[in-house]
Amino acid sequence: MHKLELGAKAWESTVRRTQAAAKRRGTSIFSSMSVAHADDEEAAGAQELCHTEKVLPNGDLYTGQCFDNLPHGVGKFLWGDGCMYEGEWCRGKTMGKGKFSWPSGATYEGEFKSGYMDGFGTYTGSKGDTYRGYWVMNLKHGKGKKSYANGDHYEGEWRGGAQDGHGKYVWSNGNEYEGQWKKGMINGKGSLIWANGNRYIGTWEDGLPKGEGRFLWADGSFYVGNWSKDPKEQNGTYYPSSGATNTGNVDWDPQEVFSVDLNDCKICPPEVVSIMPSQKALNWSGVEADFMQKQAVWRTRRGSCSEAPPRKSTGGSDSRSMWDGDGDSSDAGDYNGDDRLEEPGTARTMNPRGFPREMKKQGETISKGHKNYELMLNLQLGIRHSVGKCAPATSLDLKASAFDPKEKVWTKFPPEGSKHTPPHQSCDFRWKDYCPLVFRTLRKLFKVDPGDYMLSICGNDALRELSSPGKSGSFFYLTNDDRYMIKTMKKSEVKVLLRMLPAYYNHVRAFENTLVTKFYGLHCVKLTGATQKKVRFVIMGNLFCTEYTINRRFDLKGSSHGRTTDKPEAEIDENTTLKDLDLNFIFRLQKSWFQELHRQVDRDCEFLEQERIMDYSLLVGLHFRDSSFSKESSESRTPGTRTPRGGSESDSADTAPRLSRVDMDQLLIDPNRWATIRLGINMPARAEQTVRNDCETLIGEPTGELHDVVLFFGIIDILQDYDISKKLEHAYKSIHYDPTSISAVDPKQYSKRFRDFIYRAFTEDT
């Protein structure tokens, strides 16, 4: 048996025996540890798992079990600033059940994963407030109950550290609200009941009544109307209670709700925690660096099953890490907070915290002389005209006429300019906006600022053309800030989009977390010269607009025929889009995220099925947070070796920007950062490596090798309907191949196959 496995089994056995001993004695697992460990013959027989008491050079103290010179098993760590953790460890990380306490007196007791408060646990603040519920990466996430020091309490759903979803808040004075929340504010439908019996039932926005609602008095009278803090927008009607002999509250001013009634309904602000357990774990300096170094070297040698993680060599005869030292801090400089491995003697360059180094952007800049330079100018002139012209305020409730395919506007752009257009240096052209009101409203719905949108596409920076057209022959362009992607379209695709536009609009309006492509504009450029050429294009959101390096990207359909990348291993890099048969990961999501993914994929696929759409894909991008996925330098690579597709060697070049683990942790625990995390965007997860034994099997067998990742994903290519050409393609390919393996199948069958595949590739993290 591999000695690492032997050590892990010994640790698990020790923990089980310790828990049993603690239960018999009525004591904690920590106080029973020494007795259980001394009696544990299996642990005593496993040399790798030992008990130690160690004072680190910086004054920190650890006492407990170790494996390969790292905390592993059950132990207690006391930092010099007074923070303390006691509980379960795995390879130098707090992992399992434990208790973390702050010098202020605050404590957290519950589950940990990779150094984070993650799972179910109880936090008690220094002032007496208590939260009991679920956590993800140090933040309240899922169902939980919080009791505040002032007597208020909340029970319901949380997301990213704040109340989000359905929940009930009860104030110490007897007032209570039950309904929807968003980012810690009352938002959506809900009812607030005051202690005196009055109540408001209706819609809310940012903690205040907004929109349709009713205010009811205890005597049965009520007021119904449209609510707003702005008196000009407030209107409604008062109704006395049945059988009343007087007019009661007829002279009452609805603005009193904002100025008086809501004054005693303030939500307690979230407490501020100065430092998190995951940050403290990173302060081990040489210990963490040594562990990461060993881990990376071990993974490069994982072909040898008999070899345990080797120790780091410092170039001399003494290969001890800081953890091994007797107070000598000479190794402390080996770790600079970055998870990249460095050769001895190489210079270190410091990054501004939270920002990667500049990386060469994907695609070719369209500068003067490029064959599509004039087309780019035409596009920018047209967008500037469409977005910049004055337009009435739009309501989200659009009339059917706005979706009429004939609802299009042509504008002439002569080089000398006109009454409505500026002079320009491009050729004479005409510009068409399809359903302009609908796309203007979609941009509003997607919270796109018109000025930012115009600057991204029409600013001084040129667009970039991706290196080759897609399978359909379409060309793709990216804005310089990577926010938007512009795709040229066939006339048939334009017809499909216009046909499904009403259903698409209703779908994205109903489901904020939809994964389908976001469309921002549909346009056409027609040259008025001899060619009379028309170029139609759609503007979409770029799924991979992020400061993280996308180390791996996959285009997944759930079919196997032809679903592999025809590229030599040496040419695969972070810009290569791999396919189903190249996938060698299972993505493990936290429970609430997995449930939301399941719900949303069902909704999106039902929508696409109803619109007779097929051949769509789930585009997935991965940023690997651990150092094992850094590319070795070409000088150190062994000639002739190959790495499995999706493996570590070709993930990103040495010059590619990477955030250090410290920077990454700080970005992810920042509440402002969590505000940017949504389904499919900036999602923390774990990717488990798989091995495919059969070349036609879509999901391989899990290996147990896990990587912390940040995920980006969405459903793309949603404009292919199941027309006669696709039916013929299906009939032809079914003769030569397994009908279930080909991409062109009936939308209902395609939807089922796609969903089944996604629910195998994405699973709940347990």
Ordered DSSP codes for 588-606? EE-HHHHHHHHHHHHHHHH
Average pLDDT over residues 535-547: 91
Of residues 347 and 709, which shows the higher confidence score?
709
Does the structure show a pLDDT above 90 at 422? Answer: no
Output 10 or 515, whichever has higher pLDDT: 515
Q: Which of 196, 213, 193 is nearest to 254 (CA)?
A: 213
pLDDT of 94 strictly over 60: yes
Pairwise CA distance, residues 457 & 57, whole Å = 55
Write out the two tokens for 282: 């990173």
pLDDT tens digits, residue range 692-738?
877 667 788 888 888 889 999 999 999 887 655 555 554 445 544 55
Angle of helix 591-610 relative to helix 747-761, nearest 10 degrees, comes to 170
Structure tokens at 547: 């400061």
CA distance 479 to 541: 10
Confidence of residue 390 (pLDDT cuts 50, 70, 90): low
Dist. CA 287–CA 321, nearest whole Å: 7
**Lowest-confidence pick of 95-99, 319-323, 727-731, 733-737:** 319-323
522-531, 573-582, 635-644, 757-766: the lowest-pLDDT one: 635-644
Find residue 206's DSSP bridge partners. Answer: none
Per-residue pLDDT, 392: 63
pLDDT: is 117 or 723 the higher one? Answer: 117
What does the block give as tokens for 675?
């505000």
What are phi and psi for residue 383, nearest 5 degrees?
A: -65, -45
Task: Provide the token pair at 454.
Answer: 């115009």
Per-residue confidence (pLDDT) for residue 675, from 0 to 100: 60
Question: What is the edge-to-edge ordering of all strands in the sheet holding 464-465?
Answer: 364-365, 464-465, 476-478, 484-489, 534-541, 519-527, 429-434, 408-413
Mean pLDDT of 285-302: 40
For 183-211, letters b (16+ CB in 10 Å) and e give: ebbbbeebbbbbeeebbbbbbbbebebbe
- C-alpha separations of 412 from 188, 382, 429, 457, 615 in Å: 44, 10, 6, 20, 37
Distance CA 747, CA 719 (A): 12
pLDDT number for residue 638: 33
pLDDT at 309 over 80: no
Is the confidence at residue 384, as pLDDT, over 70?
yes
Cα–Cα distances in Å, from 68 out to 414, 458, 462, 582? 75, 57, 54, 35
3-state secondary structure of 501: helix
Q: Are strands 762-764 and 585-589 parallel, antiparallel or unpaired?
A: parallel
CA distance 322 to 339: 17
Sheet holding 577-578, edge to edge: 577-578, 552-556, 617-624, 701-716, 683-691, 585-589, 762-764
Pairing of strands 84-90, 70-78: antiparallel
The alpha carbons of the chain give a radius of gyration, in whole angstroms, of 30
Residue 250 pLDDT: 66
Amino acid at 545: C
The residue with greater pLDDT, 763 or 641, is 763
563 confidence band (pLDDT: 50, 70, 90)? confident
Percent of the chain with pLDDT over 90: 28
Task: Out of 256-260, 441-445, 496-500, pick the least confident.
Answer: 256-260
pLDDT of residue 673: 56
What average pLDDT does the structure give for the chain? 74
Q: Which among 620, 585, 597, 589 has a CA at the least distance from the CA of 761? A: 585
Indicate if the pLDDT at residue 304 is higher than 70.
no
The contacts found for 695-700 with CB under 8 angstroms, 24 or more apart, are: 695/581, 696/560, 696/581, 696/741, 698/558, 698/560, 698/580, 698/581, 698/583, 698/757, 698/760, 699/583, 699/586, 699/757, 699/760, 699/761, 700/584
- Choose from 368-377, 432-441, 455-464, 521-530 the range with maximum mean pLDDT: 432-441
Most confident of 115-124, 280-289, 714-723: 115-124
C-alpha distances in angstroms, 388 versus 235, 381, 410, 438, 451?
33, 10, 16, 16, 8
For residue 168, the model assigns a pLDDT of: 94
**Which of 24-33, 264-273, 411-420, 605-614 has the least mean pLDDT?**
24-33
What is the tens place of the pLDDT at every residue in 571-630? 778 888 898 888 889 999 988 889 999 999 999 999 999 999 988 999 999 999 865 554
Mean pLDDT of the region 146-163: 91
pLDDT attached to residue 738: 53
Among 311, 329, 295, 294, which residue's Cα sits nearest to residue 60? Answer: 329
* Residue 201, strand partner residues: 191, 214
Mean per-residue pLDDT for 308-331? 32
What are the Cα distances from residue 391, in Å, to 338, 394, 407, 442, 445?
Answer: 50, 8, 16, 14, 16
Is a pLDDT exceeding 50 seen at residue 226? yes
pLDDT in tens, 266-278: 888 877 777 888 7
Average pLDDT over residues 220-242: 85
Type of residue numbered 322? M
pLDDT-based confidence at residue 298 (cuts at 50, 70, 90): very low
pLDDT per residue as tens digits for the range 477-528? 999 888 999 999 989 899 999 999 999 999 999 999 999 999 999 999 988 7
